[in-house]
Amino acid sequence: MEYDVFICYSRSDSAIAEQICDAFDANGIKYYIDRKMQVGSEFTDQLAKVISGSRLFLFLVSEHSTSSFWVKCELHYALTTRLSEDFVLPYIIDEKPISDGVRLMISPLNQFNIFQHPIQPSLINNVRGLLKSQSPQEKGHAATPCPSEFAIQGMKMFSENKFEEAFVNFTIAAEQGHTQSQYLLGVCYEKGHGAPRNMMMAARNYRKAAESGHPEAQARLGELLYDGYYVAGDYGEAVRFFRLAADKGNRDAQVGLARCYECGLGVAQSIRNARIWYSAAALQGNAEAMRKLKSLK
């Protein structure tokens, strides 16, 4: 379903958001508002589709929204996936200072505020005018930049320790199936870079990248499955992913596979095979593999 307006807001501003919804209902304006805090890749996929499929993005600017991580994610996505300069409409609903980062993002845009432009009728008339003025091309889905562009920008931000910006770019690229971004998004979730630490989301993104053949993701997912601490343990699956990455030369996976052979976990015990894989990892400088080769009998 396509919407006229996507309402981006902080739940601390729900009272004003609901007033706007009431006004939209009275004027026949179709809108989307997320009234429940939801997490998970399926929900974020849906949210991205709703944002890119809406004709306007109404950003309720306040002290609460400009300090909200998820609001900034939605705003960044809206600004980078739609080409029309009239797509994002900032609507300032308090007089508190705006953070420099958000001020920079919305500085080129036409801005309204609730004190000079109350919900009825100024905001409604402005929204109606923008909807009416859109060209047929703008009413449809605008072209989305190539996911590799977001991935490159994300890696640049990550290298500069700008983790929130990196996380947003990796999320956008990962949602479009970019394998390296899926892996790096997993790293962000695991390390707590740019988002609260969430090992379940880390494992989910590692798995997406691993199934697409990413060796580092395969090795890391194998380790999580082997440990069984953050995700349900499965030695057989751990061996499968360790082997896929080990065959590509990943030394961490080679150590993991050797450990499975040594202990007979997920595979028939074989000291010979354990030595083979420890040796392969030791040749690449892995210290654990070197120690194991000295003690393994």
Interatomic CA distance for residues 273 and 242, integer angstroms: 14
The CA angle 40-146-39, to the nearest 5 degrees, is: 10
pTM assigned to the model: 0.55
Q: How confident is the model at residue 65 (pLDDT cuts 50, 70, 90)?
A: very high
Q: Tell me what pLDDT residue 139 has.
A: 46
Between helix 163-175 and helix 147-159 the angle, nearest 10°, is: 160
Q: Tell me what pLDDT residue 261 has.
A: 95
Q: Tell me what pLDDT residue 264 has.
A: 96
**Cα(first)–Cα(last) distance of the chain, in Å?**
64
- What are the pLDDT digits (tens) for 118-170? 898 888 988 888 888 775 444 444 445 577 788 888 898 899 999 988 898 88
Q: Tell me what pLDDT residue 150 has.
A: 84
SS3 content of the chain, % helix, strand, coil (to 5): 60, 5, 30
Interatomic CA distance for residues 187 and 180, integer angstroms: 11
Torsion of CA 189, 192, 198, 199, to 10 degrees: 70
Q: Tell me what pLDDT residue 87 has.
A: 85
